Every structure is written in structure tokens, then in C-alpha cells.
Amino acid sequence: MNIRLLVFVLLFSCFSLPVFAKKKNTPLPDPPHAATATDNDYVAALSAADRFLQAWQTQDHEAGLVLLTDSAKHVTSEDQLEKMLSPGISTPRGYQIGRGKKLSTKRYAFPVTLYEVSGPHKPLHVRNSQIIAVHTGKDDWAVDKLP
């Protein structure tokens, strides 16, 4: 009986030792281009692009127009803006925005993927594009190129 108890205790201690061992706390590696994400201008440009895409997603025509530069409004017809920002029917929409790239001082480009379902029995429409955000004033950023 004592031998069984001794074997049991030895086996239990051998198998439970890894459970009680202290794990090494390894920090996560920095993502590529981590220094870019700490730039205040980058964050402000990303925020403007994201707010515009949220307006597109929620079909908020007024909020989307406020976030456009004058040159973006002149390049795009009013009909195209109307169709893009408020198509009339409620369509499920979503987007993904990727890591941006600095084009020049106060100008950033972000790759975007737009998802839209045009009808209940229609396939998902996926469109890859790019959105460009520019610095327009003291702390103001706006979208200069629509996706």
C-alpha cells in the first residue's frame, strides 16, 4: 500500500510540475512600421478617412459632404455623391481600412475595401480602392479622393 502511495505521489508531482512552473512573459513584437502610427498627422488623417467611411456606411449624406475637400466635391458630380452617400434604400454596408502611406507632408493614402449588399438575394459586392486624406487647416483633415 505504501509503495502505491509513493508511486502515485511521484507520478502526480512529475505531471503537475509543468502546471505550477512560472511562464515566461514575452512581450508582443512591434508591428511593422510602428513608428508611423505614432505620428499625430497620421492619426488625424486616419480619423478623417474613418469618419468619411462611417458616413458612407450609415448613408449619412450630410456628414460625408462635410468631410470632403472642395477639390473632391468639384471632381465628383453631385449625382455621384448622392448615389454614394445616400442610395435611397437601406443597404447593408461595411468597410476595411488598411495601413496608410504618407504621400507628402500633410497627405496620406489609405487602402480600403468596401462591402455592399445590394439586395436580399444578390451577392456581396466587394470593391478595393483608396482614400486620400489631406490637412486643410489648423487641426482639420478632409478627404481629397473618394474611394
Which domains can be identified in the chain, with CATH numbers? 35-145 (3.10.450.540)
What's residue 117's pLDDT? 84
List Cβ<8 Å contacts ≥24 apart for 135-142.
Answer: 135/41, 135/44, 135/45, 135/106, 135/107, 136/69, 139/44, 141/44, 141/45, 141/47, 141/48, 142/48, 142/67, 142/68, 142/69, 142/72
pLDDT in tens, the chain (147 residues): 566 666 565 666 666 555 555 556 666 665 555 444 458 899 999 999 999 999 988 888 888 888 999 888 888 878 777 777 776 666 788 999 999 999 998 999 999 999 988 777 778 889 999 999 999 988 899 999 888
What's residue 35's pLDDT? 46
Is-contact 57 131, C-beta < 8 A? no
- In this prediction the pTM is 0.70
**Cα separation, 57 vs 46, whole angstroms:** 16
